[in-house]
């Protein structure tokens, strides 16, 4: 049977990246002791006040159709939170609620891009971006970065890639997988490019609450950027709510209107009881959230300390997020081969950097998604894998 060309554009390397994760799950089912560090799913429970809000909403009968845009109260909470943190003046009309940040990026891309358009995306890039833009018929133009520079984006490198076909720049700060963040100076230079060339900016800020070094900048607050920036965020990582599927876009009101029309024909909103829970997440000062953030910071420090100085590998300290990139090139294996060996022989599941673009080749991504005891165990296994490979090379 025949399938559309879309099916080819949404497959590829990004989809294939998860094969090692699937293999790790298979080994676990067989009873193998596998430390699963290949997916960015927090190991914390959603804070109970959030859960109780959903239960109370269900018991109150909030099981019917909801506002396609998201409830006004939730959108107002999102707008208020964004304005407090960025300084950009927004209200509920600038916000649309969607089932996760992933869906928000996809929806924005559908409303901004036509076939043949180009999207500049900084490497290393989240594995689904290529499929998202491929679904629109647009082309991804990657911005190479250097591990030696902490995977940070240089505005001059972005400027060199702008062509008459460029329509959008997408930047993710803090970045998944590298954890690199952008400074105010860099954002100002990038904003100037967007204004000069009349470009849209998609700012993926899902890890903004997990920044440990420096200050998070929302570029929508910079001069000339409010009317050309789609800010993407969610409660998935910050509040351990990945399975709740709550994300949003904050942008110009005409864009929010277009997104509403897309949601109307595809999603028809998300459940009211989930939105009630998300509103508690945003409005309440929950101590669990601060504790989770501090735990992630400690896990980052643990991994960097345990792997620093280990023969054959070098961790790259991230500014934020819930991952650490580790350079394994000195072992003599490519990252994919190293990751497969690490899983099959040492019981640790990680993703190979190549899945995120050529700039991350020779690196593995470690998810900070298990407790510190097991994370220390994982570091020991990774170090042993590297040491054994070096020994074989010397033999």
Chain segment 13-54, per-residue pLDDT in tens:
555 667 888 999 999 999 999 999 998 899 999 999 999 999
**Rounded CA gap, 42 and 322, in Å?**
9
Task: Give CATH for domain 6-45+287-394.
Answer: 3.90.1150.10
What pLDDT does 11 receive?
A: 72
pLDDT tens for each residue of 336-364:
999 999 999 999 999 999 989 999 999 99
Query: Which stretch of DSSP H or E encloses residue 364?
Result: strand 363-367
What pLDDT does 16 receive?
A: 60
- 321 token code pair: 């997020």
12 has pLDDT over 70: no
Q: Is residue 311 a contact partner of residue 390, using CB atoms and an 8 Å limit?
A: yes
Residue with tokens 């180009």: 118
259 has pLDDT over 70: yes
Residues facing 351 on adjacent strands:
365
Question: What is the average per-residue pLDDT within 132-157?
Answer: 94
Q: Is residue 75 a contact partner of residue 95, using CB atoms and an 8 Å limit?
A: yes
Question: What is the average per-residue pLDDT within 91-111?
Answer: 97
Q: Where is average pLDDT lowest: 4-8, 82-86, 161-165, 310-314?
A: 4-8
Q: What is the dihedral of CA 249, 250, 253, 256, to 10 degrees?
A: 10
- 159 token code pair: 């400027």
pLDDT tens for each residue of 210-227:
999 888 999 999 999 999
**Rounded CA gap, 138 and 113, in Å?**
7
76 φ, ψ (degrees, to nearest 5): -65, -40
- pTM (predicted TM-score): 0.94
Q: How many Å from the N-terminal Cα to the C-terminal Cα in the chain?
A: 53
- Please, what is the angle between helix 272-283 and helix 72-86, to 10°? 30
CATH class of 48-283: alpha beta
- 56 token code pair: 């109370």
pLDDT tens for each residue of 200-211:
999 999 999 999
Helices assigned H by DSSP within 123-213: 129-135, 155-159, 184-197
Residues 309, 358, 205: CA angle, nearest 5 degrees? 85
Q: Got the DSSP string for 76-120?
A: HHHHHHHHHHH-----GGGEEEESSHHHHHHHHHHHH--TT-EEE
Q: Where is average pLDDT lowest: 37-41, 113-117, 193-197?
A: 37-41
**Rounded CA gap, 271 and 201, in Å?**
29
Spell out a b/e string for 80-91, using b for 16 or more CB atoms within 10 Å of the CB, else e: eebbebbebebe
What pLDDT does 128 receive?
A: 87
**Rounded CA gap, 337 and 348, in Å?**
13
Give the contacts of 333 (CB within 8 A, at least 6 positions apart): 341, 389
**What's the pLDDT band for 253 if we cut at 50, 70, 90?**
very high
Among 323, 275, 348, 309, residue whose Cα is nearest residue 92: 275
Helices assigned H by DSSP within 239-332: 253-266, 272-283, 287-307
- Hey, where are the domains in the chain? 6-45+287-394, 48-283
Summary mean pLDDT of the chain: 94
**Rounded CA gap, 24 and 46, in Å?**
25
Among 357, 278, 366, residue whose Cα is nearest residue 323: 366
pLDDT tens for each residue of 267-301:
999 999 999 999 999 999 999 999 999 999 999 99
Chain centroid to CA 226: 22
What pLDDT does 3 receive?
A: 87
Question: What is the average per-residue pLDDT within 165-189?
Answer: 96
**Rounded CA gap, 189 and 185, in Å?**
6
What pLDDT does 393 receive?
A: 73
**What's the pLDDT band for 5 if we cut at 50, 70, 90?**
confident
């Amino acid at each position: 049977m025949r399938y559309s060309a879309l099916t080819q554009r949404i497959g590829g390397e990004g989809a294939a990246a998860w094969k090692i994760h699937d293999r790790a799950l298979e080994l676990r089912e067989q009873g193998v002791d596998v430390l699963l560090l290949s997916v960015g799913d927090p190991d914390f429970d959603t804070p109970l006040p959030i859960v109780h809000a959903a239960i109370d909403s269900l018991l109150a009968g909030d099981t019917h159709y909801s506002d396609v845009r998201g409830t006004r109260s939730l959108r107002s909470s999102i707008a208020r939170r964004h304005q407090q943190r960025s300084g950009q003046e927004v209200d509920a009309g600038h916000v649309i609620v969607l089932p996760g940040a992933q869906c928000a990026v996809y929806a924005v891309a559908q409303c901004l891009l036509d076939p043949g358009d180009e999207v500049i995306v900084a490497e290393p890039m989240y594995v689904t971006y290529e499929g998202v833009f491929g679904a629109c018929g647009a082309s991804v133009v990657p911005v190479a970065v250097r591990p030696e520079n902490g995977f940070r984006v240089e505005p001059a490198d972005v400027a060199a890639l702008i062509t008459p076909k460029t329509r959008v720049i997408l930047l993710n700060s803090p970045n998944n997988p590298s954890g690199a963040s952008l400074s105010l100076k860099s954002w100002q230079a990038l904003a100037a490019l967007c204004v000069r060339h009349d470009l849209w900016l998609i700012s993926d800020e899902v890890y903004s609450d997990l920044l440990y070094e420096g200050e998070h900048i929302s570029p929508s607050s910079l001069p000339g950027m409010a009317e050309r920036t789609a800010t993407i965020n969610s409660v998935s990582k910050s509040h351990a709510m990945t399975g709740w599927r709550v994300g949003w876009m904050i942008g110009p009101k005409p864009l929010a209107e277009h997104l509403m029309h897309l949601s109307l024909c595809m999603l028809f909103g998300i459940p009211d009881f989930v939105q009630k829970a998300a509103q508690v997440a945003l409005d309440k000062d929950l101590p669990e959230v601060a504790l989770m953030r501090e735990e992630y910071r400690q896990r980052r420090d643990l991994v960097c300390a345990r792997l620093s100085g280990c023969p054959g590998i070098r961790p790259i300290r991230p500014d934020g997020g819930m991952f650490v990139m580790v350079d394994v090139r000195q072992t003599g294996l490519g990252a994919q081969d190293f990751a497969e060996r690490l899983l099959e022989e040492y019981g640790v599941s990680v993703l190979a950097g190549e899945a995120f673009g050529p700039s991350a080749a020779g690196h593995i991504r470690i998810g900070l998604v298990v407790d510190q005891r097991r994370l220390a165990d994982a570091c020991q296994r990774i170090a042993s894998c590297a040491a054994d490979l070096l020994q074989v090379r010397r033999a």
